[in-house]
Structure 1
Amino acid sequence: MPITKSNIPEKGKMLPPGVYCPVISLYKPTKTQEIDLDAMYKHCQYLVKGGLHGLVYQGTNGEAVLLSSSEKMDVLRTVRKAVTDLGLPEYPIVAGISGQSTNESIQLAKDATEAGASFGLLLPPSFWAKSVGEEALYGFYRDVADESPLPVVIYNFPGVTSGIDLNSDDLSTLASHPNIVAVKLTCGNVGKAVRLTSIFTPAQFSVYGGSSDFLFPTLEAGGVGCVTGLANVFPRSTARIYDLWVEGRKEEAMRLQEVVANAEWACKKSLALTKFGAGYFVGKKLALNDPKTFWPRRPYLPANGKMQEWTVEVMGVLVEEEDRISGKVCGRGVNGIKESLGGSPITEERPRAK
């Protein structure tokens, strides 16, 4: 019996397909750890030059709950300037707009718009998880999406929302809202991705994996990309899986996927290890030589010596791959139109292997 396809209208502005980096926050090496905007500017341009298709700020990797509203806006203004200075004023910048109240999330969406964001990433409320029933959950997303100037991407990450896990029925219901355009599945549930892509086209509701260690399966299942913390450290390698898949070079994509999956294991352990890896492998390239720049913000602690050694070993499998891939800049155009400087454009509403 055939699956019933959705007949909801295509959305007006969709998150472009590809690999996105949930960018870490970088701090000055002081007791109060002020945001280091110069470091954020440098890191942003490094990631864009690495071929990533978009960036996410003030998500989980960005330590959003530890940043003030003014800090969030300062960062967004800084990175919008960084991409504009690269000649990419329309480069996709996704901003976390997750608050515990509807009012707070709406205000965060308005602030992010003013500061230069392109899309909003929204977790479900979770402060009192038992009170977030189906009616409250749907009402929250619909009310925020009604008033958000930004198209909303649902962020499903039960690990940071007291176990609240949006299932495929929840997501299918919310997908009908004209300003809810996609979902990031950090739950890692590929079956959920299959159920959603069997019903919706990417122009109706796009599906992204929550990390790059299952990017190839996500694409094969009908998804359009991923958001991966490992891209803070190895932007070229993570973006390359997607590019190879789109070009129809699936064997190469799968070979690289295997290496990336092993390197990303360090990111699964803790944010502190992701940040340490970025400092160790990228910091010197950007003249960011103080390890404290890459420490988590208090009260969270940096990785200890044993875990640092382990991270270098685990992530180190990608160093050769990263160095071998030539740099490029993605992001010329939005809504599914990608072009690398000096290369041919990738223009499809949903990536399809040749």
Structure 2
Amino acid sequence: MQAFIGTGVALVTPFKKDFSVDTEALKRIVNHVIEGSVEYLVVLGTTAESATLSQEEKELVIHTIVEANAGRLPLVLGVGGNNTLKVVEELKTRDFSKFQAILSVSPYYNKPTQEGIYQHFKMVSEASPIPVIVYNVPGRTASNMLPETVIRLANDFKNIIGIKEAAGDIVQAMKLIQHKPKDFLVISGDDMITLPMVLAGGAGVISVIGEGYPKEFSEMVRLGLQRKVDEAYALHYKLMDSIDMIFEQGNPGGIKEIFKSLGLSENTVRLPLVNVNENLANRLDSFTKQLNK
């Protein structure tokens, strides 16, 4: 579990202008974040636009990242959905030899009760051959996995090792930290409140902005974990405007503009997502150029 303390980044899937997967750009992005000193990589999460990838494309993305990483950092694979039996089937049939954990989102659209969420993750836990990080993101799933449910899962299933908590609610995060088992990881899923969560006892973050600016953001998290509060907040405020900007018109449109500014990939997204407008693109470009002076 020590592997998941610090900064993980939710990798995008870069596309060429014809909307095909750009494997060379993906390799550049992997190297960019590794050289920026992040602690681990998350593959095929929401930021990867995984909902718009075919099964063949998902396998291509996995292969490309595993090859580019070359064993340098721990890898977490997104394996989740709102069809419990389908998730279980994937967990029982996929080769996880290159991965250290899975990230599994709470079921979306169906709007299960807390008991339904518990029973879903019970089956995920029992089927998974590697550790599980559960993922609470009510803004996407339309249901909030309450702290009581998370703590129940953490106590009942030892291979559920942590949660990516993205409710955007610092009080809810603090309740998780207050009541969690000793080694259970409460990982921020919101870049803006990562530092307060870390200082409250959180384990770090699975980040989007940390993918664009890995050196600065991962250092902020490390400083927070070391309780170097003033230095950590100096970096937080340095990056704060960019965090607002990358989510202003949806994810991953904003972060892909940063990659375009950095010369790492095109800014192409797949429908139903569209590119950010010219005004936001210019602001992100200006911020990136200023930060990298």
Does TM, scored on the shorter chain, surpass 0.5? Answer: yes
Query: Which position in structure 1 is the counterpart of 2:258?
Result: 277
Distance 1:116 1:254 in 2: 35
**Counterpart Cα distance in 1 of 2:235 and 2:290:** 11
- State the shift of 1:75 in Å: 1.4
**Corresponding residue number in structure 2 for 1:22:** 10
After superposition, the C-alpha distances for 1:239-288 in whole angstroms (9 at most, x for unaligned) are 010222344432111111112222211122112122112211x22xx4x4
Q: Does residue 1:139 correspond to 2:119, yes or no?
A: yes
After TM superposition, the structure 1 = structure 2 runs for residues 166-205 of structure 1, keeping only pairs within 5 Å, are 166-176=145-155, 177-203=157-183, 205=184
Other-structure match for 1:325:
none
Whole-angstrom CA distance in 2 between matches of 1:251 and 1:317: 22
Contact 1:275 1:295 in 2 (8 A): yes
Match for residue 212 of structure 2 among 212, 223, 233: 233
In the alignment, which residue of structure 2 is the partner of 1:75? Answer: 61
- Cα deviation for residue 172 of structure 1 reads 0.9
Q: 1:95-153, CA deviations, whole angstroms, 9 ceiling, x for partnerless residues? A: 11112211221234356644722211111222332xx1222211111101110122111
Q: Aligned partners of 1:112 and 1:41: how far apart in 2?
A: 23
Inter-CA distance 18–165: structure 2 relative to 1 (3 Å threshold): same
Give the Cα separation in 2 of the matches to 1:202 and 1:91. 25
Correspondence 1:128 to 2:105:
no
Which residue is equivalent to 1:318?
291
CA contact (8 A) 1:120 1:153 kept: yes
CA spacing shift, 1:138–1:15, aligned 2, 3 Å? farther
2:223 corresponding residue in structure 1 = 244
Aligned to 2:101: 119
Amino acid at match of 1:147: A
Quick check: which has more Rg, 1 or 2?
A: 1
2:138 paired residue among 158, 161, 165: 158
Could you tell me how far 1:201 is from its partner in structure 2?
4.6
Give the alignment partner of residue 95 of structure 1, picking from 65, 71, 77: 77
1:253 aligns to what SS in structure 2?
helix
- Range with bigger deviation, 135-144 or 110-119: 110-119
Residue pair 2:133, 2:161 contacting (<8 A) in 1 also: yes
- Once the two structures are TM-superposed, the CA of residue 175 in structure 1 deviates from its matched residue by 1.1
In the aligned structure 2, how far is the partner of 1:144 from the partner of 1:37?
A: 30
1:344 counterpart residue number = none
2-structure distance, mates of 1:61, 1:91: 19
Deviation at 1:302, TM superposition (A): 1.2
Which residue matches 1:349? Answer: none
Q: Name structure 1 gaps, 5 residues minimum.
A: 1-12, 321-354
Over 3 Å counting, the alpha-carbon distance change for 1:245 and 1:215 in structure 2 is same
Decide whether aligned partners of structure 1 residues 315 and 171 sit closer, same or farther in structure 2, where only a CA change above 3 A counts: farther
Change beyond 3 A, Cα 1:112–1:192: farther
Change (3 A) 1:294 1:266: same
Q: Which amino acid aligns with 2:12?
A: I
Cα distance, 1:314 vs structure 2: 5.1
Deviation sequence 1:174-193 (CA, Å, 0-9, x none) = 11212211111111222122
TM-score, structure 2 length as denominator?
0.91
Q: Distance in 2 between matches of 1:67 and 1:94?
A: 18
- 8 Å CA contact retained: 2:177, 2:200: yes
1:317 Cα deviation after fit: 5.7
Pick one of 270, 275, 285 that aligns with 1:297.
270
RMSD of aligned Cα (Å) = 2.0
Q: Identity of aligned pairs, percent?
A: 22
Structure 1 residue aligned with 2:88: 106
AA aligned to 2:105 is: L
Q: Which residue is equivalent to 1:149?
A: 129
Give the TM-score taking structure 1 as reference length.
0.76
State how far apart, in whole Å, the 2-side matches of 1:69 and 1:260 are: 35
Equivalent pair of 1:73/1:115 in contact (CA under 8 Å) = no
**Which runs of 5 or more structure 2 residues have no equivalent in the other structure?**
none
CA 1:164–1:197 in structure 2 vs 1: closer, same or farther (change >3 Å)? same
TM-aligned CA deviation for residue 223 of structure 1 = 0.3
- Distance between the aligned counterparts of 2:257 and 2:52, measured in 1? 18
